[in-house]
Every structure is written in structure tokens, then in C-alpha cells.
Structure 1
Amino acid sequence: MNMSMILQNWKMLGRLYRKGCSANRHFCSRAVQTAKKYEAGQCIHGYRVEKVEPIPELYLTAVKLEHEGTAAQHIHIAREDRNNVFSVGLRTTPLDSTGVPHILEHTTLCGSEKFPCRDPFFKMLTRSLSTFMNAFTASDWTMYPFSTQNAQDFENLLSVYLDAVFYPQLRELDFMQEGWRLEHQVVNDHGSPIVFKGVVFNEMKGAFASPEQVYAQHLQNSLYPSHTYSHVSGGQPLSIPDLTWEKLRQFHAAHYHPSNARFYTYGNLPLERHLELIDSLVLSRFSRVNTDTSVPDQQRWSKPRTVTVNCAPDNMAPNPDRQTTVSVSYLLSGITDTFEDCTLSIIGSLLTSGPTSPFYQSLIEPGIGADFSPSTGYSGDLKEGAFSIGLQGIAEDDVPIVEDIIRETFDKVIEEGFPQERIDALLHNIELSLRHQTSNFGLGLAVSIAAVWNHDGSALDALKVTKNVEKFKQHVKEDPKFLQNKVKQYFKENTHKLNLIMVPKEKYKLEVEKKEDEKLQQMVSILTDDEKQKIYNKGLELAEKQNEPEDLSCLPTLRISDIEKRGEFIQVSHSTPLNVPVQLCEQPTNGVTYFKAVADASNLDTALLPYLPIFCNVLAQMGAGQMDFRELSQEIQLKTGGMSAASLVTNSHTDPLSYEQGILFSSYCLDRNTSDMFSIWSEIFNGVKLTAIDRLSTLVKMAANELAMSVAQSGHSYAMTHASSFLTPAAHMKERLGGISQVRHMKQIAEMQDVSPVLEKLALIAKQLLNKNSIRCSINASPEHAQKSVNHLETFLASLSGSSRGAGRILIQKSDFTATCEKTHVELPFPVNYVSKCLETVPYTHPDSAVLSVLATLLKWKYLHKEIREKGGAYGGGANMGGGLLTYYSYRDPHVMQTLEQFDKSADWARSGQFSDSDVNEAKLFVFQGVDGPISPGEKGVDLFLQALTDEAKQVHREQFFDVQKNDIIQAAHRYLTPGNRPSAITFIGPENPATVTDSSWVRVSETESSDMPSQQGVV
């Protein structure tokens, strides 16, 4: 996975079987307590302890070690958390754009010395109870992390990961499959044309289909032009074919050595055992070497530079004449100075975050553009930090205007500084973030320290957020112009400044395709007959290898017997203050109160339904009571971690023709601010200001722009949502409120010159839903604060109009809904496709539901992965079961009809029982990864609250998984996957396709067509 994309969006505790560590609380506590007793200089299994530091604000103790034989670095985070994490990171600094670190990341996981089977990484996904498994490629580091709550599973995965990273086989056929290759379009047809294939090749073609990604990549390459950051670590599609197998092996030899490695462990398992295993499995076999992988500082410019680039027009964007992007970016200080990094991060947020920030007011509110430019704000992901500010969705002629506004805004900040309440609000959010618990906390820490540690900075200092914040407060107190002087230093006086302009070009896509074709023809034209024959033979060899049955006996695995038969039962209580149903779940929340509420929308006027997502989007951003939108935003930042609303559609778990429709309100705050949080909700419910036309227009343009960009990144999700909309009423409503239909609807509204009719509709929604007529609430809080939270909630409820009916979940019955078999091609000019096929099945409580979940897992990992990813070259593909549907999908796929054929063949494979009992057990293990996945304290009891899904019902479902046998799956495959037995629907999103043009059974939807809402069956 290319981390250069993940890092831009990474803004990222279930049950452990009782025989393991979670059952022995004394053992776990002892492991954490022992960590506090280590001393600098102490030697443990070949390691020397360098430092031991408690970090109380994060409830952890950090131990820093160095391996004496190899100089490998190791940080262990001891914390009372069962979700234990391991990662090994390596500094990987490419000096070209062939994608060598990215392709190496993929190929490394394809087989190793101890585990020579094909793709042991993917095979372990079904032999484990991992809560996370993946690998990341960033611009200058590669990381291999996993997490699990099971002690034996931890050791199993550790052995596989270590062998993969340090002893990979790096076979040529694996390089061809994962990276790139020349191969005949039809592998066994010598007469078919030779084309480019490869998983990473197609992945990166899909990645650069997004104008946002194109811009972000050019920004990095242009701001840091002198070394590794001037290249595309993930791989530029036209440069990927320049990478040879030998260069890949050389890159591994130069970068994948323990002396260049940084090991990380986290959780409540004993450090000694981790060190013992890492030393015996890897480090004891290596000697220290001098690795030269460091990144030099970027040479500073003496004067600013301007760069202009092109991209493809975004056909989903609201205004075709306003698609230019411009930003001004600055190279700042090195990130290893963690205080300066913290200070710049705070300044970046003060400048850009929220409606009260100066750049929001100067750039967003005037309506010059649709939203901030990609990568806006401070970034500390590379060796030296950067700050970027600009706009996207502007007219090309407005570029100088935007640049002038940016300069003037900096001047104003230097002159006036930041209001103290802005600083207080930001510091409050930092305090709250330290207390707010997530289910993947340990993994988040690993990613958060990766950049600093990668450049030899102090990872432990990077964890000391409170220390840096206190130092920041002291500087501000001692020097009233501290922040203004920093802004002047880094932005006014900084000559390392880049003006980047991106202008859409109508023929951009054709030019890219032409360049790819020219590259292909150039490579093919110089091939000798012998080389062409070798390509043909290699294609056959790879196909034969991909089809070979594998002996997986070398891989470790857990057993179904390792899983506890009884799931976790979460204690909740219920009350009805003012006749409103309230669920209370007492949890150790670190002094944070979590609130959720659902307002029933079953009786909302049909004409208002398409506007429900817009209503949710703007509800907390328009002002309320005596506060305008800026004052409301400021109050929310000062008192909460954010207040949100989202349209909600949840399936009935018993009836496929029933569903709940409503709005989900969510917020959380420090316990001391609970009263204030509910006061803000009271102001919103009783006095939301739905009158400001300009404000609504601004928010709509931002939302429409965000939705338009999301299609290129999440096309498979949109395809799945659209295909499912033909089969169940709940899925149909989800498409209307969150699918391609909603993207088009938002585009249509963003194009309106006068949005006052929209305001009128939003006011009607507020009148119907913002009351206590049909609302239910939930609170998760610590036992010592629970009753106070309920009391504050009662005060909020008392302030609302209406009279509660005391009803809980209200279901809409759609007995007249008729599932239809439809095939839809949503034409968008992407270089790859997103394909989905959905079949109607059964709801959650049906006995076949558990069987179908195991079947979907078998289809994904035992058939579709090989056919769609390994052989077909798509970045991903699989099958899911849920919501009364079995859904196939593929992601960044070079094929459509071939993929649909494989969906059908997978059904034949399942019906014929071409899988073993051990395959079934592995599929069950994978299912239990989700069933027993981590749940944070703030999310405990959410299934009961949102879906009325009791622990008893979940336990019945759990036991059904244990009982699933091979014959049950074969019978289910016959019942549900036999053609004609069940309604099915197909949708794919992608470029023009000859098959859908000539076949009249396909409905083709062009991106230029109207934004009309779908019919009952979901047609766009």
C-alpha cells in the first residue's frame, strides 16, 4: 500500500480468547510494571537499554533499546492494552520514480526463506486473529505493522513478518506479478497484443486518476527537488517499466538490513519475549554495517519559484470553468526539533483550521474557490516540514488574486496575531485528543513517530505532547509576539517558497494514454523474436505458477478451538427521562463523555430526503441561538471534540424489507465540559440559523468538491452501493443519501446561482426533526461521571420542543419493494475500473447468514484474490456479506467483463466444493477477526443502540459460525449463487467500454447527464 496517499488521509479492542493474556490480568499488569523497572545500560537478549521514560498523559512507559550486534533500534511501549502491535520500519530512499520501494514492499511479502509458499502475507490473513495486517510505503520509509490481541498469534505473525522482511525470496515471477511485466493480453494467445500488466502498475494508474493526488505529488516533488523527495516513491506509471528485477534486489540489499531498521512493539505482552524472538529469528544472523540511506537537507532557494502543471478535468466537479488549483508552499524547519515541529503544527492549525481561522475567512468565505487546495496546512511527514495554503476550484484568471490574498493574510496575522480564544480552543483539542481512546491507539503511535524516528530524531520526545505544549504556553506568555514572529520568520521572510498552479487540460487523459502506448510500443519494437518468445513463455510460467496448488503447512496458524465460544457481553442500563429512551454504558473513558442520539426521519417528506445529507453537513456550521457560525465554531472547539450529524440508514436484522431512517448526532467532550456540550446541542436544536445564503453556498461547494474527489479514491464503494440499491429498500435509500446519486445531487446544488430554495427545504427538515418527538440517546462515560452526564442530558432534553412518544427504533416497512436485476455502467474517464455485483440473500438473524459470511470469505481469499489480483492485476477484489446482500467487488481493476466472469466462476467453484475443511476453518478465523475486533470505550454498546442488536442475538450468531461446515457452504452456494435463484445487480464505474455500448442490456450513465434522483429501484 502506498503510504504517500495514506499519510494525507491519516488523520487513522475486541475480545481475546480467555486462555491468553487478557484472562491473566496479573500477568499483563506485571509486563507493564516490569517495563518501568528497566534501567539505562541494562542488557536484555543482545539489546542494551538506552532510556526508560514514563509518559503519564498517554498512560504508557516507553523503553528505547539498541541491539549491540547490529545497531538495530527498538522502541517498546508498555501500556495496559490487549491490542498488541509490532512493526519494523526501514529508511527507503528511492532516487528514481520506478516505485522500487513500493514494489519491493509488495514482493517482499510474496514468499521467504522459512515460508516459501506464494504470498504468505495474504495466506496469514485467514490463519490469524489479527486486528490489523498491512504494509506501508511512504516517501522515505517502509513499514510492516500488525496488531493482535492473541499472544500466540503475535508470535506467529512476528515469525512471518521478520522472515518476509529480512529473508524474502524476491522471485522474478513475484516481481512480474506485483510490479509490472510485458505479457500478451490473452496469456495463452501468441497472437494477442503485448501489454503492460502488474498490480502496482494498475494501483498507481488508479491513484493518479485523482487530480488531488496529482497535485499533492507535484507539490512534494517541486518543493523538495534536490534528492529523494523529487521522485514518486509509489511509482510513476510511465516510469515503473524502467525498474528491473535486479534493481529491485539491489535496493533490498542496500536498505533491508537490521542496521537500517527500527523495531516497534506496543501493548501488555512482555518485552523480554519480543526481544528474545527478534534476536534469535533475525538479528543474531547479521552483523553491523554502515548504511548510507540518510536524506540530506534540501538546499534553500534564494528566491521563490513558480511551477505550472496539468491534470484531467474532473467531470464530477460542479463548475467545469472553475477547476484550477493554486497554492503557496514553504519549506520550514527540520522535524527532529520536536518543539519547533509542535509549534509549527499549532501555527498551521491556527492559520487554516475552522471558520475562525484567518485563511478560512480570507480564502473560503469570499467564494473564489470550492475548497482549500490539497495538502493545505502544516505537514511534518518528511525530513523538513512544509506549510501549504491555497484554493482549488477557482477560475484560472483568479490565480493572481488568490496569491495576493495569501500574502495580505500573512501580513495581517503578523500585524494582529491570533485571538487568545483561538489558541485556547486549539490547546483544548490537544488535551482532549490525549484522553480520547481509539481501538488502534498503538498503531497510531507507530505511525505518528515514524517520520521523526526515521530521520534519527527522538521518537520519545515526539510522544511528550504535554511537555511541548507547556513549553509553547510559556513562550507565548513570555513573548506576546512569539507567534507573530514565527509567522514572519517562516512565511514573510522565507525565500524557499513555491507557487504551484494546476490547470485542467481537456486532452490530458488522451495524452497520458498516448505516452503509455508510446512507451509500450518503444519497448515492444526493439524486442527480438527470442525475447518475444521469452515473454510468451514467462506469461505461461506465471499463469501456471498462479494456478498451482500450494502446500501451506509451513505457515503457523491458530485453531477455531482457540476462540472463546462466548462473546463479550456489554453491560448497559436504560432509562426514559421525559419519556425519551436513554442508554447508558459505563466504561473507563479517561475522563471523556461520549454522546449519541438518533432522530427518527421515517415520516420526513419524500421531497426533502435528498437534502438530508446537506442538512447534516451544515447543521453545526451555520450558527445557532445568539451565535453566528464563527462563534458557534469557536464554542464547539473550546468545549468539545467536534459535533457532527450524519444521515443514518440501518437494516432490520430480521426483515430484509424494513429499515430505520434518521439522523445520527455525535459528540464527545472532557467530563468537565459535559454541561457546555449539551448547552451547545440545545442552541443548535432550538435555534439553528438556516438563513445565510452565502454561508450555505460556501458549505455546499466544499461538500460537492469533496464528494467529487472521493469517487476516484473510493470508486469500489460507490459501485457496491449503487448495485445494491436495486435489491433492498435499505440499500436503495443508502444510494440516495450517500451514493453516486448524492454526488450528482450535490453537484447540481453547487451549480445553482441561488440556493435560497435549498435553505427553505433545510428549514423544513429542522422543523420536523430537531425536537424530542422521536429521539433516543446514548451516553458512554466513566462510572464516576455517568450520572452527572445523564443529568446534563436531561437538561438538554427538557429544552427541546415536542413530546416524546417514548419509542425506540422505528422501522420503515417497504413490503411493496421489488428487487430488480439491473446492469449499470457509470461512465467516468478513469484509467481503471471499479466493479461490483450484488446478490439478494438473507438478514442477520437467518441461520444462513453465518454460512454466507464464511462463504464470502472463502470466495475472497481462496478464489477471487488469485483470479482478480494475482492474475488479473487489479489492486484488490473480494466479496462481503451483510445487509441481506452478498456483494462482489474489485478495485483499481484493468478489467470489467473478465472480472464479472470470475465472479460467476467463483460461484461455480463454491457449488462444486473445490475447497477443503481447513479452508473453511481459516475462513472462520477471518470472520472472527471482525466479530471480535477492537472496540473503543466510547463505542461500546453501539450495536444495541443503533440496531437494537442485543448481545444475546450476537451470541446466537456467533455460535452459528462455529457450526458452519463444508457441506453447509456448498448447499448455501447452490441456494444463493445459482444463476436465476436470486435477484442480482451489477454496476461498474470506469471509462467507455465497448461491451456496454454494443450490449443493450446495460444502462449507460454518462458523467454529463442530469443529477436526477434514482427511481425506487435505484436507477441513476
Structure 2
Amino acid sequence: MKYTVGNLYKGFKLLEEKEIKELGAKGLIFEHEKTGAKLIKLETVDDNKVFSIGFRTPPHDSTGVPHILEHSVLCGSRKYDTKEPFVELLKGSLNTFLNAMTFSDKTIYPVASRNEKDFFNLMDVYLDAVLYPNIYKHEEIFMQEGWHYNIKNENEPLTYNGVVYNEMKGAYSSPDSLLYRTIPSSLFPDNTYKYSSGGNPADIPNLTYKEFLDFHRKYYHPSNSYILLYGNGNIEKELELINEGYLKNFNKQCVDSEIPLQKPFEEMKDLEVTYGVSENETLEGKTFLSLNYVIGENKDPELYLAFEILNYLLLRSTSAPLKKALLNAGLGKSVTGSFDNSMKQSTFTITVKNAEENQKQDFKAVVMNTLKDLVKSGIDKEIVEASINRIEFELREGDFEGYPKGLIYYMKIMDSWLYGGKPFVHLEFENTLKKIKTALTTNYFEKLIDKYIINNYHSSFVILKPERGVNEKQAKELEDKLEIIKNRLSKEQINDFIEKARALKIRQETPDSKEVLEKIPVISLEDIDEKAERLPLEVREISGSKVLFSNYHTNKIAYVNLYFNSLGVKEEFIPYVRLIGDLFSKVDTKNYSYEKISNLININTGGISYSALSYANNEAFGEYTPYFKISLKTLESKVPKTFELLGEVLLNSKFDDENRIKQLISELKSRVQSGLFSSGHIIAIRRLLSYTSKKAYYDEIIQGIAYYKFLCDLEKNFNINILADNLNEVSKNLFNISNIIVNYAGVEEDYTNFEKVYSSFLNTLDKDNVNYNNYDFKVTAKNEALLLQGDVQYVAKGGNFKSLGYEYNGALTLLETIAGFDYLWNNVRVKGGAYGVFANFRRDGGGYIVSYRDPKVKETLKVYDEMYKYLESFDVPLREMQKYIIGTIRKLDHPLSNSSKCEVAAAYYLANIKQEDIQKERDEVLRGKAESIKALAPILKTLMEEDILCAVGSEATLNENKDVFKNFMKIIE
């Protein structure tokens, strides 16, 4: 369609049209004539269409009102008057993305789908939700999603409950998260960024229902909206829906949502914050030190991209000079850097973790001296080239795993558009990159360092230090506060809270009527392809070695995955299979320093990664094969150099540098430890399943708490000679020609070139016979409580249903959808206040239910135990069953990126999952009926009666429930 600037299209005036060659897209900028709503259409050939509406929502306190609203508007609206339209869409939509996100100054509501009918349904529900939510009709929505006094009778103590309240208790339990939320308040004391848009648990209960509604009235108006349409959809139909269904009903309104710039500081600000550790936990090596700088306005495209590269150059790459200087100085065990470009003024942060409080001045001195030396002497041009190449590769590849492209582009657009800048400046990177590449022959980055870091006084120094008893003290203060509040209440007021809590419970337990549910638009099962997608995979050989060839267009990027069977590694050395991958490319090799090999990899590739994993044999219960996996991506023209570098890393890495290896072990331990607070559900799942199968036991050794404990032991009892010997033995047993299977994705023409390179690579591998081991794991139910400092739990229960005599079938996949968005959602999230809960049933028989950021333990386990009763009486109308089927197919048909297609195809092959198995599962889902779900009740009943469980969480809460567990273990060392 031909567009004319200045013309009206369905109520929208076209302001600008331009080609964005970097995306292969046409960008159209519109403004809604009646309301002033801003809208952009990115026209591309991509069939994964994206719609998003966002609002500038600057908070005025830390009660979390933007976050609570983000949850609440999706709890029913004018046209879709159900309690949970969001959940209904998840049940019955083919969406490829459906969520909402709260940022520090904006809230966005993105959806995506490849199906046109589904896409319009999603747009309609989301527009109705944000513009006509039921929050004005039902205070219970605010109580459920935000906070409320939870009290059943006048003899009970007052407590707080609410989904966002519990979510943020979990967020504030993590020191990393606490630091992340503290830094903006240190840099922006005079504008909105000093507040927590997500909500501080201490402040959330200060939010009133009236303030909640007033915030929506003010900011959720079309005049304050920023809308994106992306993909190959019909723009006139899209604009018509937005205008005719919604925007034409509003008039232009002046919405004061401007965010003033923070006045620069005249000197660096200091801020000190504490976080809690247990009473008998050491305080040594638990402090976080952070230097933070305000860089500039986000709408400057050159500064935006240059600092993204500079952050990688200084702090993220293996050869990063600032990171190296800090670690060599013994300042902390882990160094991280971040460039936050999601606010009006971007920030740059340098952080050391697991340091000492008295190292503050040393930390600052090392940073400044190192940066001054880089400015004076110049940055090694090889590091500059490597860093630019790595970021450029990511920009050109455009592979945003897990997220649709349109959503990533929208967020980049908003980084300028929201603040009055040109919308496309962060998408049109070619000219900007050209300017930045002058750094290869000039002192470009040195000037940036001098201006924006060394001589920048708009900065802060944040210390986050441990303190024993903080969590217990806060819990006691909250208990006392609530007791005082209750004592000051009249009997009538207490009864009012009891009645409100009862009204909320009644609303939660009252099902939506059939008539109301049927208003939620649903696509037909006829819109679904009955045939499962067949991923391209052909088994070939190169020099007698097996090759899995995925033949498809990859834009001249070679995606290669190498799988080395690791059964040749002795049982006691299994953790070293993961460790060797964690050390590769970070240690010297025979011919290169670790800095040099890192730079060469970044110059010639899009990255090489290493991991340890295992695949269960789908055709032989209990059998599995462990692998060491290497994933790489590179331009086809650089495949020879990439394999030359890979061979150098695999076969010539040196593990005898005591200082370097010791430093890396400490860094690894620190990094794994940081992740424990945000992934409690993953920890609980892995640990739980390790009680029930040998494959899961193996996975726990290489990926779970066992690996963290292994790192702790290595650090505590460090012996470079033993460590080097063990790593060298593992290397010899891994990198043998008899162990390897390679997966290559590209086109036939490029495969021919790959064949020659790979054949030469095979000749470099060890050819001695490898003896495979039969690991004798002692699998037993430990039923552990894994103790962390924090205020929420992650509660898992399950086992292995195949070992109990049951078989896997597609109805179990369907049950995941049904349970996750009905029984478990209603009982654990809605009523219980947990942030999330889900069930999973795997082909190898592993089955579990797990909650996320959950305030409860026994109540949650009771819900799990009684799920079989729900299944025994399961009966829903045909339309509801079809919705569950559609929602399940959505998961099965999730679009895959170029890099993922070959990985998934290879995983199927290695797990012995045939196309007929995939089709059988799809058929069982599509034929799903209430009876097939009822038939699963015995599986759930038997599984729960095994009483195998594991929980991660608050030491105080888990100890209060000590009769539930057999063993207790403190996670952090």
C-alpha cells in the first residue's frame, strides 16, 4: 500500500515514512487526530505480528502503584468481564508472546501472534483491559494483586497478603536485586527514579485504593500512550480496530507525565545499605561495592551504542581490562558492569561482589587508576575490535531468544520516543556504528572514559553490606506494627477487614459464568495445523563421524553444536565436566594468553559457549546419555578460523596458573551464588527430581546446588596440582573422536565448505579407546528444606510417574495448561498470594508442581495433594476444553530462532524422540477431552502420595514447618 505523509488513515495522521534498512522494514509514524495518541507501524515480512500499548507512568512513591496496576488491569474489563481475561487468553490463544511489564517510568502491554484472527483478538482484549479495566468496580482486584489485611476472625493476628506484595518480598530478598533498586535512588534524588516502581514491600501497604485509581485515571489515557504495530499485518484493519473500538471514544487530554532531568551533582554521593544474613553466617566477603555514573540523555544514539560497547570492553569480556585489574587487586570475587538505557538519563555501573567493606577506597583507586592509565596509554586496539565486533554481530543477527523481534524493537524505540527523541534512532545503527568504528584508529573510547567516568561528578558510591538478623528484625518489626494497628482498631473496623477478606475469598472462589467466559474471543481448532512441524535434520558422516545437518537459510551465519559423550569421565570427576566449560576461553592456552584468545574469538565469531547436560532415552526408561556441549555461531567465511580457535581452546588450554584458576573459581562461585536468590524454583525442581532418577541426579551434580557446593569446596581446599590433573584427565576423556556428534545449520553450498574444515578438526582429536562408565548413583528421597535468607518460598513436590508404572502421553502436556491456568493458579496464586505456580510432566517420567515466591508452605502442599480430586471431577464445556487445547498447542508451536531450530532438532535426535512421537503427542492434545484429563487423576494421586518434596526459602518459615521435611541445609556458604 502507498502512504502519503499528512493524510489520515482510520483516524490516524501519517507524520513520517522511512525505510529502516537495518531491519528490512518500513517505519510509519502516526498520531491519532482526536486524542494525540502516538503510534508506529514497522512493516516487515515477519509473520510474528506484535502489538504493544505503553504509557509513561512515573511513580511518586515506592508503593508500587505502576506494578500493581500492571497486574490489575488484566483482571477484567468492560467487554471482557471475567476475573482473569489474561489467563483466559493464555488458555485459548496461539499467542507467541503475552505479558505486561513495569519499568521505572513506563508500563507496556505487548502481545504477539502469527495467526491474524488471534492477533486481533489479543489486541482487542488488551486495549479494553488498559482503557476500561474493572478496577473501578471491584476493590477486590486491588486487594488480590496489590495488598490487603488477611484476617479470618477477630482472634487472628493481622497479616499482609497480595501477589505483588509477595513478589517484591522475594525481589528485595536478593542482595543483587536490592543493589539494582538502590542505585537509581542514589543518582536521581530529585526525580521519579528515586522511587521503586515495582514497590518496596515496606511501602506497598501505604497505597490506598483511591490513590491506585487516581494513578490509572491520570496516566492510562490515550493522550499519554505509545503504540506499536509490527509485522506483516494489514495496517488499515489494525488502525481501524484501535480507532473505532477505542480511541475515538476519548478526547485529547493534557497528561503531565514529563520526567525532569536530574540536576548534575557537584561531587560524588555516598550511600550505604544493609541486607540480611543468618545469625551464624560469616560477614566476611559478603559486601557489594558499586560505582555509578549518569551518562547522558537516552535519545543520543551514538552515546547509547558506544556505552553498550564500552561496557562490554571494560567489564564483560574475558579480556576486559577494568575487570582484570579489579580481580587481580583482590577486590571482590566477581566483577560486573551494566549500562542501563531504560531511563531518560542512562547510567553506567561498575560493581564488585563478595568484597570487604574496608576495600571501598582501594576499589575506587583501582578503578580510577586503571581508567586513567587506559586514557593515557590507549586501549589495546585488538580489545576494541573484539568488543565492537561482538556487539555488531548481535545487532545484525537480530536473534532475541524467547522474545519476538517486534517487542525488542519497541523497547529500543521507547528508549528515545518516550523522552521526545526520534523513534528510530536506536534501530538505524549503521551510521552510528560507522562513527564508533573510528575507535580502531583513534582515541574514541578513551575520550568517553575521560569525560563520562573520570571527570563525571554526577555519580554515586553505593555500599551494600551484610548484617546479621536484619530479616528477623524486619519480620519482628512488621509483626509488632501489625499488632499495634490491630490494637488501635475498633471492633467494627476489624470486622470490616474480615468482611473484605471474606468478600475477596468469595470472589476468588466464584467461577465466571459461561456467558461471561464466552465473551473472551477464541480461535477455532480448525485454525490449527494438525501436523507437527518437522524440523530439518539429516544424518550424515564426515570422516566416519556422525553429522546432524539442518539444511535451511541462516543469512550466511553458521550455527554449530558439538556434543561430546561424557560417559568416559569417572563418577567422582562429573562436576569437572561443567567446570572445564566454565574455564574454557578464560585461561591461557599453549599459543595464546587468555586475553588474546578471548579477543580472537570475539573478532572472528558471534560467541562460543560451553555447557554440560544430559538427554534421557525416550525409548528406554531410565537410560540417559550425558554430553559436553559446545555451541558456536560465526559467519560462514570465518568457519575455518573459528575451528582453529576452538581446537586451540579444547586441546591446548592450560590449567596450571594457580592465581588465575583460583580467581576464576571464586568468580564462578560468586556468580552461581548470586543466581540462587532469583531461581529458587529451579533449585527446588532439580533437587526434587534428583531424589527420583539417575538422569536427574546427574543433572543436579552439574547444574544444581551440588555444583555450587562443589565450587565452595574447591575454593576452600584449593590445590592447583590436583585441580589441574583432574581437568586434564577430564579433557582427555572428553575430546576424543569416538565421543563426538556435530550439528550444523546452513545451506548445502556452505555445508561443503564446512565438511572440509570439520574433517581437519576431527584429525586433531584424541583417538585412544574410551571406556564408558556406568554411574552408580544412590537415588533416595531426601525431602530437604534448603535455607536462604528471604521472605518467600519455592515449594516443589513430585517424583517420577514412569517408575510408578504410568506412561507419558499428550494429555499430560494438556494438563500442564489446565492446572497452571485453573486449579493451581486459582488456589496457589490467586488465593494463596504466590507470584507463580506451574506443573510439568516430562517424557522421562519426571513430574512436579512448584510455586514461585510463595508466602506459604503447608497450605501450598495441601493444594498439590488435593489436585487429583479436581481431576476426578474435571468437567468443562466443550468451548473451555478447546481453549485449553489451543493454549497447549501454542506452547508446542512456539516460533524458533535460526539458532534454536537446529538445537531443538538435535536434542530430539539425541533423546531418541522421533517425528512420530512428536506427532502422537500433538494428536493426543488435539483429541483431548474431559475424560482424558480425568484419567490422569491416579497419576497425580500416586505421585503426591509418594510424598517426595523439596522447598527453598526463608529459614524462619521453613523451620516453622520443620515437620514437613526430613533434612535441612543452608545453601549459602
Q: TM-score range by the shorter chain?
A: over 0.9
* 1:840 aligned onto 2:800: yes
What does residue 329 of structure 1 align with? 292
Note the 1:986-1005 alignment, pairs <5 A.
986-992=949-955, 1002-1005=965-968
The alpha-carbon distance between structure 1 residues 797 and 476, as it changes in their structure 2 partners (threshold 3 A), is closer
Equivalent residue of 2:426, what SS?
helix
How big is each residue's C-alpha offset from its partner over 1:234-286, in whole Å with a ceiling of 9 and x where there is no partner? 00101001101110110001100111100011111122221111111211111
2:853 is paired with a residue whose SS is strand
1:97 pairs with 2:62: yes
Inter-CA distance 446–790: structure 2 relative to 1 (3 Å threshold): farther
Match of 2:362 in 1: 401
1:477-496 equivalences in 2 (<5 Å): 480-496=442-458
- Residue 601 of structure 2: SS of its match in structure 1? helix
Q: Give 1:109's aligned amino acid.
A: L
Mapped to 1, the partners of 2:727 and 2:392 lie a distance apart of 35
- Listed one character per residue, the Cα deviations across residues 410-431 of structure 1 (whole Å, up to 9, x for unaligned) are 2112202222222222222233
Q: Deviations over 1:211-232 (max 9, x none)?
A: 0111111111111111100111
Going from structure 1 to structure 2, the CA distance change for 1:788 and 1:980 (only over 3 Å counts) comes to closer
Question: Do structure 1's residue 523 and structure 2's residue 485 form an aligned pair?
Answer: yes
Q: Say whether the 8 Å CA contact 1:848–1:972 is kept in structure 2.
A: no
**Does 2:815 match 1:855?**
yes
CA 1:761/1:583 → structure 2, altered by over 3 Å: closer, same or farther?
A: same
- Asked whether the 8 Å contact 1:685–1:771 carries over to 2, the reply is no
Counterpart in 2 of 1:109?
74
Unaligned runs of 5+ in 2: none
3-state DSSP class of the match of 2:628? strand
Match of 1:364, as an amino acid? L
- For residues 466 and 314 of structure 1, the distance between their equivalents in structure 2, rounded to whole angstroms, comes to 52
Quote the offset at 1:584 in angstroms: 1.3
* Secondary structure, counterpart of 2:52 in structure 1: strand
Once residues 919 and 118 of structure 1 are traced to their aligned partners in structure 2, the CA distance between those partners, rounded to angstroms, is 15
Change (3 A) 1:406 1:343: same
Contact preservation (8 Å) 1:843, 1:849? no
Map 1:437-452; keep pairs closer than 5 Å. 437-438=399-400, 440-452=404-416
Matches within 5 A, 1:192-203: 192-203=156-167
1:730 alignment partner, SS class:
helix
Distance 1:116 1:870 in 2: 17
- Among 169, 172, 181, the residue aligned to 1:217: 181
1:584-983 to 2 correspondence within 5 Å?
A: 584-802=549-767, 820-842=780-802, 848-882=808-842, 883-948=844-909, 949-974=913-938, 976-979=939-942, 983=946
Return the offset for 1:926.
Answer: 1.9
2:144 counterpart of 1:177: yes
- 1:867 Cα offset (Å): 0.6
Give the Å deviation of 1:191: 2.1
The offset of 1:748, in angstroms, is: 2.2
Amino acid at match of 1:386: T
Conservation of the 8 A alpha-carbon contact between 1:90 and 1:260: yes
Describe how 1:206-605 pairs up with structure 2 within 5 A: 206-313=170-277, 320-373=283-336, 376-436=337-397, 437-438=399-400, 440-474=404-438, 480-551=442-513, 552-605=517-570
What amino acid does structure 2 have at the position aligned with 1:743? Y
> Structure 1, residues 968-1001: CA drift from partner, whole Å, max 9, x if none?
2212212x12247974510011224677678666
SS at match of 1:98: coil
Q: Name stretches of at least 5 consecutive residues in structure 1 with no aligned partner.
A: 1-33, 1012-1020
| Distance in 2 (alpha carbons) for counterparts of 1:341 and 1:973 | 55
* Cα contact 1:182–1:196 (8 A) shared by 2: yes
What is the distance in 1 between the residues matched to 2:270 and 2:817? 51
Report the secondary structure of 1:498's partner residue.
strand
Give per-residue Cα distances to partners, 1:677-716, cap 9 Å, x unaligned.
1111111222122221221112211211111121210101
CA distance 1:148–1:614, shift in 2 (3 Å)? same
Aligned residue number for residue 19 of structure 1: none
- Taking the TM superposition and a 5 Å limit, the aligned residue runs for 1:122-201 are 122-170=87-135, 171-184=138-151, 187=152, 189-201=153-165
Deviation at 1:869, TM superposition (A): 0.7
Matched residue of 1:350: which SS? helix
* 1:951–1:843 CA distance, 2 compared to 1 (3 A): farther
User: For the residues of structure 2 that align with 1:768 and 1:684, how far apart are their CA atoms?
Assistant: 16
Alignment partner, residue 9 of structure 1:
none
Query: In the aligned structure 1, how far is the partner of 2:552 from the partner of 2:805?
Result: 28
CA contact (8 A) 1:661 1:812 kept: no
Contact persistence 1:135–1:143 (CA under 8 A): yes
CA displacement at 1:474 relative to structure 2 = 4.6
C-alpha distance in structure 1 between counterparts of 2:768 and 2:966, whole Å: 47
CA distance in 1, matches of 2:806, 2:115: 30
CA-CA distance at 1:822 after TM superposition: 4.6
Does the CA-based 8 Å contact 1:820-1:983 persist in structure 2?
A: no
Rounded Cα–Cα distance in structure 2 between residues aligned with 1:175 and 1:418? 54
- Between stretches 989-998 and 586-595, larger displacement belongs to 989-998
Question: CA offset at residue 732 of structure 1?
Answer: 1.5
Q: Which amino acid is 2:950 matched to?
A: T
Q: Give deviations 1:160-196, integer Å, cap 9, x for gaps.
A: 0000011111121000000000121xx3x44221211
SS across alignment from 1:236 = coil
Q: Is the partner of 2:789 in helix, strand or coil?
A: coil
Q: Report the 3-state secondary structure (helix = DSSP H, G, I; strand = E; otherwise coil) of the residue aligned with 1:471.
A: helix
Q: Is the 8 A contact 1:907 1:977 kept in 2?
A: yes
2:365, 2:668 → 1: CA distance?
Answer: 26
Query: What secondary structure is seen at the aligned counterpart in 1 of 2:347?
Result: strand
Aligned to 1:4: none
Whichever residue aligns with residue 639 of structure 1, its letter is N
> What's the TM-score once normalised by structure 2's chain length?
0.95
86-95 or 605-614, larger mean C-alpha shift: 605-614
Q: CA deviation at 1:789?
A: 2.3
Corresponding pairs, count: 961
Distance 1:239 1:138 in 2: 18
Q: Is the 8 A contact 1:828 1:1006 kept in 2?
A: no
Native 8 Å contact 2:784 2:950 kept in 1: yes
Q: 1:620 to 1:846 in 2, by over 3 A?
A: farther
One-letter code of the match for 1:856?
E
